[in-house]
């Protein structure tokens, strides 16, 4: 019994310590934002790495998610003679939930893991120490540009995911299954609210981007500088970021739509 | 005059004692070699000098400034007077050779682009790699990477330069080039060089002053000639690479006969 209490105590202390270090790390990033102007070129380069290079997986996934939603939705709505509502069903699912959540999960797998591995390897190859020795704060030079780039990139990728998803739904619903194009797009225009749906979806996306970037960069920065250590940190990034996205999604949905 | 002074420095990592009561002086304008077997904390000693680690007790003075008590801003200002050559070179992998050498100049000075180009060309010329300026770090051999890192380390014309195991894994030609560069740069730029290594022959050929570490203590220091003439068994074993001596071939523990199974 005492051993169990000991173990719980030890893991609680470790968790609190880790949370404290992560908070301090976040604070250092936020302080580093005052060097943003001097680091614009670094941010742009990271926008390419995290954003542009994530485009293929986001676009292809968006297309398929939209197509599958349309196919499943059509089969259900047809039973009630409500095929014309297919567009709005897909649009609301995409804008409120699937767009922000699936894009963030894909982003965590594609860009988050890459951020962790890259920074972990920079630590392993002493590049972060080299920056310190050149009197350059590695958080300002390496971490802050990646953090800003991730927060800008994910909402944009989410918008692209949603748009391509709607295109996929149009291909299946209108072109293949014969739903009336006017009804499909007209109902979307009438029912999807700019503030209630699109803005809230984007807010979710920004929150997810914040969580993924924070977790990925912290895991990379704190990784044990060995190949095994970097591998473990990369896995932790994908697992933790995915769980945080889903948990945050529930909380934000409850706050926004309840 | 001493560029670096350590007085009664102790340092632990967790429960493990790395240094106990280490005192040493590193003279200005000379090449000082810090020798010792692997795992004696030679790199940690450099980190104490650069303020990357803080001692448990004792005094670390660099250029007459006490390092452990420095605030971040003052520490960064002191580091601008130091160059550091990492064992791996530690070049920034997203920048080419030119940009790596230009990096400290761009970060720490307001020099014009033209002046930066000339300075980088001069530093790369000094290490013989001016024509490799457009290559990426992944296209360099280990020896070339260390020479580029050396050019970067001297870009801001520091007063002290520290070399962490500069000869490890180098072929004889690269090693010869690095040995020559360390000596020549020290003399021509009036630098204080601190070379941490366990390549005894190479280091002794260029060192003016040698410190030998073992078991967390300084066991000998002096000129290479003084150490060669030393009567200490430990110094003799280390300098000549004898497999057995004060550092035993067999790890201490229970007797061999106790491990053999009786037939």
Give the tens place of pLDDT for each residue, A73-83.
Answer: 999 999 888 88
Give the tens place of pLDDT for each residue, A209-232.
Answer: 999 999 999 999 999 999 999 999
Listed in sequence order, the DSSP H helices in chain A are 2-32, 40-50, 55-79, 86-92, 99-107, 113-124, 127-133, 138, 144-170, 181-191, 200-221, 227-257
DSSP B251: P
Burial A218-257 (b: 16+ CB within 10 A, else e): bbbbbbeeeeeebebbbebbbebbbebbeebbeebbeeee
Residue B119 lies in a domain: no
* Residue from A127, A114, A139 nearest A212 by CA: A114
* Residue from A232, A244, A26 nearest A117 by CA: A232
d(CA A161, CA A165): 6
Q: Contact A127/B77, CB-based, under 8 Å?
A: no
Q: Contact A135/B77, CB-based, under 8 Å?
A: yes
Residue B235 lies in a domain: yes
Residues 6+ apart with CB under 8 A from B23: B6, B7, B8, B9, B218
Residue B152 lies in a domain: no
ipTM for the complex shown: 0.81
* Residue from B150, B52, B165 nearest A132 by CA: B52
Residue B113 lies in a domain: no
Distance of alpha carbon A152 from the chain centroid: 11
* Residue from A180, A129, A154 nearest A51 by CA: A154
Distance of alpha carbon B244 from the chain centroid: 27
Give the residue extent of every domain in chain A. Answer: 2-257
Q: What is the pLDDT of residue B263?
A: 59
Which residues in chain A have their CB less than 8 angstroms from residue B90's CB?
125-127, 129-130
Q: What is the distance in angstroms between the Cα of B212 and the nearest Cα belonging to chain A?
A: 25
**Structure-token match 């930066």, residue found:** B116
Q: Contact A134/B108, CB-based, under 8 Å?
A: yes
- Please check whether residue A119 touches B, CB under 8 A: no
Kindly report the pTM of this predicted structure.
0.85
Residue B242 lies in a domain: yes
Number of domains present in the structure of chain B: 1
CATH for B17: 3.40.50.300
Q: Are B35 and B228 in contact (CB under 8 A)?
A: no
Q: Are A223 and A79 in contact (CB under 8 A)?
A: no
Alpha-carbon dihedral of residues A30, A32, A34, A35, nearest 10 degrees? -150
Q: Contact A134/B103, CB-based, under 8 Å?
A: yes
d(CA A140, CA A29): 7
- Tell me the two tokens of residue B22: 């280490």
d(CA B150, CA B101): 9
Which residues in chain B have their CB less than 8 angstroms from residue A134's CB?
79, 103-104, 107-108, 152
- Tell me the two tokens of residue A58: 């986001």
Residue B147 lies in a domain: no
- Please check whether residue B90 touches A, CB under 8 A: yes
Which residues in chain A have their CB less than 8 angstroms from residue B92's CB?
127, 130-131
pLDDT tens string for chain A (258 positions)? 889 999 999 999 999 999 999 999 999 999 999 988 889 999 999 999 999 999 999 999 999 999 999 999 999 999 888 888 999 999 999 999 999 999 999 999 999 999 999 999 999 999 999 999 898 999 999 999 999 999 999 999 999 999 999 999 999 999 999 899 999 999 999 999 988 899 999 999 999 999 999 999 999 999 999 999 999 999 999 999 999 999 999 999 999 877
Least CA distance to A126: which residue of chain B? B90
User: From the list A45, A132, A135, which residue is nearest B80 (CB)?
Assistant: A135
Residue B169, by phi and psi: left (phi above 0), alpha (psi -120 to 50) or beta? left
Query: Residue B214 is part of which domain span?
Result: 2-81+158-259
Q: Contact A134/B79, CB-based, under 8 Å?
A: yes
């Amino acid at each position: 019994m005492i051993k169990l209490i000991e173990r719980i105590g030890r893991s609680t202390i470790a968790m609190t310590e880790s949370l404290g270090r992560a908070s301090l790390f976040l604070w250092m990033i936020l302080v580093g934002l005052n060097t943003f102007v001097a680091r614009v070129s670094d941010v742009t380069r990271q926008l390419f790495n995290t954003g542009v290079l994530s485009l293929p997986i986001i676009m292809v996934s968006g297309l398929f998610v939209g197509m599958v939603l349309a196919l499943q939705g059509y089969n259900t709505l047809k039973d009630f003679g409500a095929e014309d509502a297919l567009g709005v069903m897909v649009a609301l699912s995409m804008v409120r939930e699937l767009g922000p959540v699936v894009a963030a999960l894909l982003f965590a797998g594609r860009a988050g893991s890459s951020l962790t591995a890259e920074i972990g390897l920079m630590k392993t190859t002493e590049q972060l120490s080299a920056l310190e020795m050149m009197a350059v704060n590695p958080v300002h030079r390496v971490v802050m540009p990646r953090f800003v780039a991730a927060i800008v990139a994910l909402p944009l990728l989410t918008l692209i995911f949603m748009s391509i998803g709607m295109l996929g739904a149009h291909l299946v619903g209108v072109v293949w299954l014969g739903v009336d194009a006017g009804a499909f797009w007209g109902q979307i225009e009438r029912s999807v609210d700019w503030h209630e749906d699109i803005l809230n979806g984007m807010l979710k996306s920004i929150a997810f981007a914040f969580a993924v970037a924070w977790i990925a960069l912290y895991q990379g920065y704190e990784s044990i500088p060995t190949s095994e250590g970097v591998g473990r940190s990369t896995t932790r990034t994908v697992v933790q970021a995915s769980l945080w996205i889903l948990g945050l999604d529930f909380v934000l949905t409850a706050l926004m739509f309840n | 005059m001493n560029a670096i002074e350590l007085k009664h420095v102790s340092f632990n990592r967790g429960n493990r004692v790395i240094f106990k009561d280490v005192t040493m002086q590193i003279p200005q304008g000379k090449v000082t070699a810090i020798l010792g077997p692997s795992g004696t904390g030679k790199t940690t000693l450099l980190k104490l000098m650069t303020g990357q680690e803080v001692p448990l007790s004792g005094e670390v003075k660099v250029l007459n400034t006490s390092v452990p008590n420095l605030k971040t801003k003052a520490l960064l200002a002191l580091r601008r007077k130091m160059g550091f050559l990492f064992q791996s070179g530690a070049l920034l992998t997203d920048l080419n050779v030119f940009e790596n050498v230009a990096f400290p100049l761009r970060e720490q000075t307001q020099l014009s682009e033209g002046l930066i180009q000339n300075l980088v060309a001069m530093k790369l010329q000094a290490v013989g790699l001016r024509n490799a300026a457009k290559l990426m770090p992944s296209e360099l051999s280990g020896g070339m990477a260390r020479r580029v890192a050396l050019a970067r380390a001297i870009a801001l014309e520091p007063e002290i330069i520290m070399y962490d195991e500069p000869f490890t894994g180098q072929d004889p030609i690269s090693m010869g080039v690095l040995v020559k560069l360390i000596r020549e740069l020290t003399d021509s730029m009036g630098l204080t060089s601190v070379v941490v290594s366990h390549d005894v022959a190479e280091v002794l050929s260029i060192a003016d002053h040698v410190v030998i570490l073992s078991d967390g203590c300084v066991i000998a220091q002096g000129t290479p000639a003084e150490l060669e003439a030393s009567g200490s068994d430990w110094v003799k074993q280390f300098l000549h690479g004898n497999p057995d001596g004060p550092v035993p071939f067999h790890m201490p523990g229970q007797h061999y006969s106790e491990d053999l199974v009786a037939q």
